[in-house]
Amino acid sequence: MKKQMRILTPLLLGLIVAISVISIRRISDIRDYSKLINYVGIVRGASQRVVKLEMNGHPDDELVGYVEEILNELLTGQGRYGLVLADSEIYRNNLDLLKEQWETVREEIDGVRQGDDSSRLLASSEKLFEIANDTVFSIEQYSMEMAEKTAGMVSVTALVSAAAFAAAVYFYIRKFFQLKVTNERLEGLAYRDELTGAYHMERFYEEVNRIMAQNPDEKFAVLYVDFENFKYVNDVFGYSYGDELLKGYAHFAMSRLRDKELLGRDMADRFVILRRYESRDELLKTQEQVDEEFLNSSLVKSNRHLMTIAGGDLLCGGYGGGG
């Protein structure tokens, strides 16, 4: 997982950066397209004013030049107004038609100035207005499409960022719990007997004191359990078998511990147990049952030898179990 995160993290960051850069450019383009809409609208309105003035005998060459200047910049992307070229075929075609129709209107204006009838100029101006409308609508539509695409890219960026964040959070939470488990395991190795898994005595009594302090209304007893003549087992059956017996008993006893009960290993073949109880008889009977079950298990019976477990309350006396 760590290796995968090392690979995925730069890839995700690179993707986010790339999408962000493209989105910023798109947003900038949309702003420029809004400017195109405004200036095509200016051409539409100014051209109609030019025609109106010409038909009323008030020519305005400066306004004519203003319209031509804007049209040229719309077509070339070069000029003082900062207009850009939009990558829209429909818009470009409409813009070409608008330029052609403007040239027609110019010719009609020259004719009116030479005394021709103005009806043809009026008809040409109406057609110019329609083309200008189409041009405005085409750049508006293109701008809206770009805005939708940009919104989609921003959404993708957000999703990718959220996915990257979730992956990072998952990775670090998983790492945290892995470290926690490792620390608990290492702590267990430090506080528990390597052979049996029971608590070392120092840790056992620390836990005993903690449990009893937290549960002052409950009754607890510390019992000891001792395998009698365990040296005989080691001598006759070998130390490996002796170790198996100790491990087996520890596992057996711990599997039968209740809440707030503990098992510790005092030395060699001696264990101590913290138990909750209501009466001393019930306490000793419970422990006798556990010991009897172990002595009757296949691990003990496999070598067909007698074994005795002695034990008792550290304060109140003892009991014995044989097998």
Q: Could you read off the pLDDT of 243-255 as tens digits, one per residue? A: 998 999 999 899 9
Residue 244 backbone phi and psi in degrees, to 5? -65, -40
Cβ atoms of 109 and 125 within 8 Å: the answer is: no
Within a domain: residue 298?
Answer: yes
Longest CA span, the chain: 138
> Is the domain of 145 the same as that of 17?
yes
Mean pLDDT computed over every residue of the chain = 83
Q: Could you read off the pLDDT of 189-238 as tens digits, one per residue? A: 678 888 899 999 999 999 999 999 999 999 999 988 888 888 888 888 88
Lowest mean pLDDT among 47-51, 71-75, 263-267, 297-301: 297-301
Question: What pLDDT does residue 180 have?
Answer: 76
> Is the domain of 141 the same as that of 57?
yes
Cα angle for residues 230, 236, 237 (degrees, 5° grid): 85
* CATH number of the domain that residue 128 is part of: 1.20.1420
> Is the domain of 210 the same as that of 80?
no
* CATH number of the domain that residue 243 is part of: 3.30.70.270
Within a domain: residue 188?
Answer: no
Residue 48: which pLDDT band, with cuts at 50, 70 and 90?
very high
> Is the domain of 163 the same as that of 68?
yes
d(CA 216, CA 220): 9
- Write out the residue range of the structural domain in which residue 249 sits: 199-322
> Is the domain of 41 the same as that of 162?
yes
Q: Which residues of 123-143 are buried (b: 16+ CB within 10 A; e: fewer)?
A: ebbeebbebbebbbebbbebb
- How many domains is the chain built from? 2
Q: Tokens for 7?
A: 């690979």
d(CA 178, CA 23): 39
> Is the domain of 256 the same as that of 207?
yes
Distances (CA, A) of 14 to 50, 158, 160, 161, 171: 53, 14, 11, 11, 19
Within a domain: residue 191?
Answer: no
Distance of CA 289 to the CA centre of its chain: 52
Final residue in a domain of this structure, among 120, 137, 172 = 172
Cβ atoms of 257 and 286 within 8 Å: the answer is: no
Q: Strand runs (DSSP E) across the chain, as ranges?
A: 199-200, 220-228, 262-267, 270-276, 308-313, 317-322
Within a domain: residue 72?
Answer: yes
Question: What pLDDT does residue 178 have?
Answer: 78
Q: Tokens for 99?
A: 């330029």
> Is the domain of 218 the same as that of 282?
yes
Asked whether the predicted pLDDT for residue 323 surpasses 70, the reply is: no
> Is the domain of 235 the same as that of 156?
no
